[in-house]
């Protein structure tokens, strides 16, 4: 009887040991899977942040060029408008060559600010994995940028819609909108780009 009890206890101990080994293996497997998932997510986040940083940096340089491109013309716009008489201001703007009307005009300047990397990050669900403070800074930049793109397109459309009935004064109004409204957005973006790039650099450090 004693031998049977010992044999039963031995088998129970062996079974319990095997069960513990299996449970430990399952637990370690879950930990390893979670670690691998976390590592892959971290790599995806870092890659997305680097692509967004490159995109914002490129947009920042584009805005800086646009500001420098327009500045000489808009610095002289006030004195040009003051030199135009009321009678001359009523003339159709295209009765004369446009560059004769507006010497030094080089166009609206700049191009559409890109957001493809940010949209890709949102589509691939990487954004929710980022630091919330960083996400807020990035989102603010791209919201301002979207407003800038819309305004730029609106003003470009107005400029292109000028026709034979548009007057010299009509053209001045559009010029001032380009210089003041679009210019204000460009200065705002300059500031927000710098903040975002500093934040992105801090994240990488």
pLDDT by residue (tens digit) across 64-73?
A: 999 998 888 8
167 strand-pairing partners: 92
CA dihedral 9, 15, 19, 22 (to 10 degrees): 140
Closest CA to 52 of 109, 111, 150, 131: 131
pLDDT band of 129, cuts 50, 70, 90:
confident
CA 117 to centroid of chain Cα atoms: 8
131 Cβ partners below 8 Å, 6+ apart?
A: 203
The pLDDT of residue 139 is 94
Whole-angstrom Cα distance, residue 45 to residue 169? 52
CA angle 83–159–113, rounded 5-degree value: 115
Query: Hey, what are 127's tokens?
Result: 């954004």
| Residue 59 pLDDT greater than 90, yes or no | yes
Query: Hey, what are 136's tokens?
Result: 């807020």
164 Cβ partners below 8 Å, 6+ apart?
A: 92, 94
pLDDT one-digit tens code per residue, 97-112: 988 889 988 888 878 9
Q: Is the dihedral of CA 52, 54, 56, 62 positive or negative?
A: negative
Query: Hey, what are 196's tokens?
Result: 């975002």
The DSSP code sequence of 129-170 is GS-HHHHHHHHHHHHHHHHHHHHHHHHHHHHHT--TT-BHHH
Mean pLDDT value across residues 134-163: 94
| Range among 93-102, 110-119, 189-198 rated most confident | 189-198
CA dihedral 5, 11, 15, 21 (to 10 degrees): 110
Whole-angstrom Cα distance, residue 108 to residue 185? 13
| Residue 32 pLDDT greater than 60, yes or no | no
Mean pLDDT value across residues 55-65: 95
């Amino acid at each position: 009887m004693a031998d049977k009890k010992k044999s039963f206890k031995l088998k129970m101990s062996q079974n319990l040991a095997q069960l513990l080994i299996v449970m430990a293996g399952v637990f370690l497997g879950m930990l390893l899977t979670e670690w691998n998932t976390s590592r892959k997510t971290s790599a995806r986040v870092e890659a997305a942040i680097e692509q967004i940083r490159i995109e914002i940096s490129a947009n920042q340089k584009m805005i800086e060029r646009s500001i420098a491109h327009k500045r000489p013309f808009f610095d002289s716009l006030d004195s040009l408008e003051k030199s135009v008489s009321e009678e001359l201001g009523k003339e159709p703007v295209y009765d004369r060559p446009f560059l004769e009307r507006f010497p030094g005009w080089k166009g609206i300047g700049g191009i559409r600010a890109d957001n493809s990397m940010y949209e890709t990050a949102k589509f691939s669900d990487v954004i929710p994995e980022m630091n919330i403070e960083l996400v807020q800074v990035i989102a603010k930049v791209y919201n301002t940028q979207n407003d800038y793109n819309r305004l730029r397109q609106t003003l470009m459309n107005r400029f292109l819609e000028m026709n034979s009935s548009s007057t010299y004064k009509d053209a001045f109004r559009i010029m001032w909108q380009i210089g003041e409204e679009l210019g204000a957005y460009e200065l705002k973006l300059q500031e927000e780009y710098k903040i975002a790039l500093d934040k992105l650099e801090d994240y990488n450090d």
